[in-house]
Structure 1
Amino acid sequence: MSRNALVLQSDFGIDDGAVNAMYGVAYSVDSSIRIFDVTHNIPVFHIWEASYRLLQTVSYWPKGTVFVSVVDPGVGSERRSVAVRASSNQYIITPDNGTLTHVVQKNGIAEARHLDEVLNRLPNSGESHTFHGRDIYAYTGARLASGVISFDQIGPEVSPDSLIKLPVMEAYIDNDWVAGTIDILDIRFGNLWTNISRGLFSNLDIRYGDVLEVVITHGINEIYRQTIVFGRSFADIPVGEPLVYVNSLDNLGVAINQGSFAETHHIGTGIDWRISIRKAG
């Protein structure tokens, strides 16, 4: 029997037994299954962050790895459950509520299926309709990862185009400015991660050591406007100073060396948080 890793993420936290119960269900399917976590500290109901954390991790896992992502404010409603095969051949099982937005946009989806919640449900799980993470997603993910079922047994095929997607904005160049969104925070350090790719940024002919003008807005309000050095790494600048750099996803980031840029300047994330950068003149 072919076995693949099962990787879990949720907004459940680890202060109670919810995540442990998901582990238990997976091990009841196959006691030899290997289970790993992306994170269980997604802010509650924060579908956008769940989507981005999948982008951050999925393509770095071997083909056949099964991800289960449960950030599900619509649990118990008519919202659809889906299983998809990414173009890089990992699987993701999740509510169809926008959680796949960034994977669809950046990686692509090769195949999608409507997860049949009647056939793919933990036996004897009663009439509970509030813990699909345990009763449906962890159970189905473990069965797929352990080879008990195949992908096509999860449910009928649906078009990847039918998957629900959150609003996104593509980064773009306007004259000598490059503009995009602040998609996520590098949580532990408070760095801003943007959707401006290194490839797009390179069209501005900016070199390491150049000074950049950086403008951050939230809706119609300008929150930040300063000049910042473009550095190769944090070692390029003194402690406490800001820099623009290329992050681990090959996109532009903004940070303070050994400080939190987000906390210092009260910066958030999402489609309404915009950033524009150009070479300071």
Structure 2
Amino acid sequence: MKKALVLQSDFGISDGAVSAMHGVANSVDHDLKIFDLTHDIPPYDIWEASYRLWQTITYWAEGTVFVSVVDPGVGSTRRSIAVKTGSGHYVVTPDNGSLTHIARTEGIVAAREIDEEINRLPKSGESYTFHGRDIYAYTGARLASDVISFEGTGPQVPVESIVRLPVKDAQLEGNLVEGMIDILDIRFGNLWTNISRELFKKLVIPYGGTIEVEIQHGGRTIYQNVMTFGRSFADTHKGEPLVYINSLDNMAVAINQGSFAKAYGIRTGSNWVVIFRKRDD
């Protein structure tokens, strides 16, 4: 039974790179269903590639094959791998940290290093700069079309050997919850944190109540203010900040009809710390 193939990259769609990946996958099996997750990952941003995979993967049927190509180390000694997740999905990707979020949430139950002698687009042996086309799209399509089994992607490697990026776990300490800015809601500039609704609720802040928010980068405070905890943007006036629960059931920070990230120069990753502190009044 054929599985869907979902592609992600930092290639953009201004040239033929993504179309070439589609073409390779289609040449493996004309009936294969091919979809795009996104090709607008910022160039070389492995962290965002990792997050977008996690954001999307569980909404697809078990057995779906994902190809993720954000590969600043293309042509180097970094490995090409295929993994099976705890949720029953497959990911074909460079082993450079792009599986960080999935490893933490869904888990990885098996991993294989892609045998590039077998799983490589024919007549592409002298190309070392477009593995997204020559190795990942080709291998992903062969796996999704059942041309090869998961075992056929290459030799098994220890799951523990997979590269992971550093992550700051969210934690409750007294009257505050501390976590990190996991990702930006790109189009609107909202800050999505790794602080879960359940953890935040332990502060016992009612909807409509206020909470102190502090954002730090490298130990330096970038932003500090008191804002409303709202159900939606309608709970504040235009231009006012708020804390809300996002679509992934985690806490987020926004400006109503404005870009919080742009206003304060906020970015993402484990060195961007967010603190929600309960007020005494």
TM-score by length of 2: 0.98
Residue 187 (structure 1) aligns with: 186
Residue 257 (structure 1) aligns with: 256
Give a deviation string over 1:249-281, Cα, whole Å, max 9, x none.
Answer: 111000111111111111111111101002222
Corresponding letter in the other structure for 2:118:
L
Residue 124 (structure 1) aligns with: 123
Secondary structure of the corresponding residue to residue 116 of structure 1: coil
Give a deviation string over 1:150-208, Cα, whole Å, max 9, x none.
Answer: 11111111221110000001001111010000011000000000010111112111221
Q: Does the 8 Å contact 1:207/1:230 carry over to 2?
A: yes
Counterpart-to-counterpart distance in 2, 1:34 and 1:174: 48
**By how many angstroms is 1:126 displaced?**
3.5
Matches within 5 A, 1:66-85: 66-85=65-84
Counterpart-to-counterpart distance in 1, 2:126 and 2:169: 43
Counterpart-to-counterpart distance in 2, 1:232 and 1:107: 28
Counterpart-to-counterpart distance in 2, 1:229 and 1:280: 12
Residue 175 (structure 1) aligns with: 174
**By how many angstroms is 1:248 displaced?**
1.1
Counterpart-to-counterpart distance in 1, 2:214 and 2:40: 30
Residue 142 (structure 2) aligns with: 143
Counterpart-to-counterpart distance in 2, 1:145 and 1:257: 42
Residue 160 (structure 1) aligns with: 159
- 1:199 equivalent in alignment to 2:198: yes
Residue 39 (structure 2) aligns with: 40
State the percentage of identical aligned residues. 64
- 1:28 equivalent in alignment to 2:27: yes
- 1:219 equivalent in alignment to 2:218: yes
Q: Does the 8 Å contact 1:196/1:251 carry over to 2?
A: yes
Aligned residues: 280
State which drifts further: 9-18 or 201-210: 201-210
Residue 50 (structure 2) aligns with: 51
Secondary structure of the corresponding residue to residue 147 of structure 1: coil
TM-score by length of 1: 0.98
Q: Does the 8 Å contact 1:182/1:269 carry over to 2?
A: yes
Residue 60 (structure 2) aligns with: 61
Secondary structure of the corresponding residue to residue 135 of structure 1: helix
**By how many angstroms is 1:107 displaced?**
1.3
State which drifts further: 59-68 or 106-115: 106-115
Counterpart-to-counterpart distance in 2, 1:194 and 1:107: 18
Residue 86 (structure 2) aligns with: 87
**By how many angstroms is 1:213 displaced?**
0.3
Q: Does the 8 Å contact 1:210/1:279 carry over to 2?
A: no
Secondary structure of the corresponding residue to residue 103 of structure 1: helix
Residue 108 (structure 2) aligns with: 109
**By how many angstroms is 1:59 displaced?**
1.1
What runs of 5+ residues in structure 1 fail to find an aligned partner? Answer: none
Counterpart-to-counterpart distance in 2, 1:175 and 1:220: 20
Give a deviation string over 1:115-163, Cα, whole Å, max 9, x none.
Answer: 1111100111130011100000000001111111111111111221110
Residue 247 (structure 2) aligns with: 248
Residue 228 (structure 2) aligns with: 229
Corresponding letter in the other structure for 1:58:
I
